[in-house]
Amino acid sequence: MHSNFVVEDINVFKQKVLNWLKQFNTFCFLDSSQYQGEYDFVVAAGANAMFQSSETNALEGFRAFNNQSKRWLFGHLGYELNTSEKISHSEKEDALLFPNIFFFEPEILITCKAHRLAIEANDPAEVFTTINKASVAVAKGEEKPLPPVQSRMTREAYIATIEQLKKHIQRGDCYEINFCQEFFIDQADTDPFFLFEKLNQKSPNPFSALYRLDDKWLLCASPERFIRKENDRIFSQPIKGTLRRTNATDHLEEERQSLAQSEKDRAENVMIVDLVRNDLSRICEEGSVQVDELFGIYSFPQVHQMISTISGIVNKGTNFADIINATFPMGSMTGAPKIKVMQLIDQYEKSRRGIFSGALGYIQPGEISTSM
């Protein structure tokens, strides 16, 4: 069943939703943090049906599951999801343990836009009443100090690897490469809801999320959109170019102009724009791929970002699996050219990236809209 309601204070209601979500082992809470978006927030709670896999043909298996579903699907793609036969993805340590792909059909779906709430559930009114009875405060208990952050690589090993990667660039093997190292905390005893609240207070972003899969959690505060598809149009908004924001009002425009005029950041950004144009051209009508905005400067609480927007008209008959095969993983997390740098990432990085360098989002019924 589907019912509509009105919410007076969106922020208060979101806090109640988060406390209400504590009863579910599987949920996805997506928050635009009051930035302009299709929804103020979206909630998927409980699982009527689900698909998960880390097999080589995981995406093909998901294709069949997606074709059967008549409702929204929420979930994630992990970096090692096989979308190219040229990337083997060596077996490495995986401390995150998320499957390469997981999507679920929610028992309860909540969307909110401009104080208007829509709930899909067996009894929407009961869900709305129960959420309103939930507490606003996030129970913190005693705040325990966390153990120290550790790295999988020593400083010396990191520098040595960077020197090797610079040689690959100098030889012309690649133009740029996004090299990651894993930082972690062992035996962290903390409350994910409390951490998410602190993260949102410090760094609200248009693609914030709290995501749970049993004992696995993702806390996200991202400014970057991987892809969005609306009817037959698809667009991507890669970020390359970042400058720390001082929040000094008299320096704000000066900082923005500094990033806008940075030759290094513009060079990195345009390379990723070309990569995304190439990816989209594989699934879009000839001549339809275009750059809607180049080197756009956007300010967030912690940083200024250089964001470009690329779009195209998707070929008829193209489905979600086809789109992911053509575009995933996102170029801003690989470098260019994509296949070569992914091979170098596999060679030099010590840990599996998994969901850290993947995508989280939803698919609406009939694939009319996809956002990750």
The residues carrying an active-site annotation are 224, 240
Calculate the CA dihedral of residues 68, 72, 78, 82 and round it to 10 degrees.
Answer: 30
Determine the residue type at 14.
Answer: K
DSSP 8-class letter at 93: B
Among 46, 23, 32, 2, CA closest to 131: 23
Determine the Cα–Cα distance for residues 158 and 148; give it in Å rounded to an integer.
Answer: 19
- Assign 49 to helix, strand or coil: strand
Give first-to-last CA distance, the chain, whole Å: 26
Say which residues have a Cβ less than 8 Å from residue 365's Cβ, sequence separation at least 6: 69, 70, 71, 72
CA distances from 90 to 96, 119, 179 (A): 16, 43, 16
Angle, CA of 60, 371 and 22, to the nearest 5°: 95
Residue 188, Cβ density class (10 Å: 0-12 exposed, 13-18 middle, ≥19 buried): exposed
Among 242, 238, 251, CA closest to 303: 242
DSSP β-bridge partners for residue 210: 29, 219
